[in-house]
Amino acid sequence: MKLILTLIVFCILHFNLLFLYAEDNEEPTFFTKQIMTFKPYWLNIAHPEIEIMSGINHSSINKDFFSTEFNPVTTIGAKFGFFYNKDLEQNQNLSKFSKILIYFENNSSDWLNLSERENYSIDGNGFKFGIGKISGYGYKIGSNSYIILYQGGTMSWSETSYSGILQNKIDSTYMKMIGDDNRTGNSMECGVKAIFNKHFFITGAFEKTSIYPRYMFWYRNISEVLHAVAQSGLNHLNIYIFNENSIYFPILNFVTKSALSFGFYELKRKQMNWPFKTVSPIIDDGFRIGVSYVL
């Protein structure tokens, strides 16, 4: 039940633009269309996209108490979602991008040729799936070509089997608490999308994920609300100070919002539900390359 409530809170926070394009539509019949068609309006203007992605993850735990190193993990997965990319009215050289998505990812240390493992190290093998939303601004470089700078976040469920030789009893106790059970987590993502035409994208991204060893409903959701409020406030501040139509706005928006999320997840490195005093999570830092096809 708590997990379902958390999912509802996440959707409210991260899909606050579920009707992606609705705020830009001046037609007064929007809600009438919703009632008559029983179809979310954004499906009329958004494009379905499939993305195949691959990359490398490196896991770590707060080094103040956890000593054993994790071996790198190779990941491969797929994302499916709906996006829109709309030129700004006041500056046709800029565009606004938004996407909601679901994804599945498989990961394993066995896919890397780790000929020289540390004496004390941990391998990981498992999978992860989740839902999320990303958004940003970009530059139009051709009739259907864009460079998009985006950031966003996801809520995930993962099941990873960890194995290896641990350095001490503290590390062993922590890994026993993690176990091989399904674990929830949250992640931030920032990256660049190169849109070549209406059907083909390439994406390069950095992702930071917190995997929670325990589930604490109130602490977790209050922590996420603080992050969402900070992001929303920064978004409005960026638009107010820098002007959405400025040629520098996509870069400034990308840097400030990515830095805020990165800093927030670094604070969670010691306390999974910062600012509350809670146990340290597993932090996954990874880089991804993806190829997308728009249906």
Q: For residues 99, 103, 106 and 111, what is the CA-based torsion angle, rounded to 10 degrees?
A: -20
Q: What percent of the chain has pLDDT over 70?
A: 81
Residue 240 pLDDT level (bands cut at 50, 70, 90):
confident
Residue range 101-138, pLDDT digits in tens: 999 999 888 776 655 555 667 888 889 999 999 999 99
Q: Which residue has the tokens 């849109």?
A: 195
Question: Does the predicted TM-score (pTM) go above 0.85?
Answer: no
Q: What are phi and psi of 179, to 5 degrees?
A: 60, -160
DSSP annotation of 152: E
Residue 272 pLDDT level (bands cut at 50, 70, 90):
confident
Residue 22 pLDDT level (bands cut at 50, 70, 90):
very low
Residue 44's pLDDT is 57
Dist. CA 268–CA 271, nearest whole Å: 5
Q: What are phi and psi of 270, to 5 degrees?
A: -90, -30
Average pLDDT over residues 172-176: 83
pLDDT greater at residue 181 or residue 153: 153
pLDDT greater at residue 245 or residue 3: 245
Contact 211, 281 (CB under 8 A): yes
Output Rg (C-alpha) for the chain, integer angstroms.
20
pLDDT greater at residue 28 or residue 185: 185
> Highest mean pLDDT: which of 24-28, 117-121, 152-156, 165-169?
152-156
- pLDDT of 34 > 80? The answer is no
Residue 24 gets the label, from left (phi > 0), alpha (psi -120 to 50) or beta, of alpha
Contact 146, 85 (CB under 8 A): yes
Residue 116's pLDDT is 56
Residue in 57, 63, 92, 97 with CA at minimum distance from that of residue 77:
57
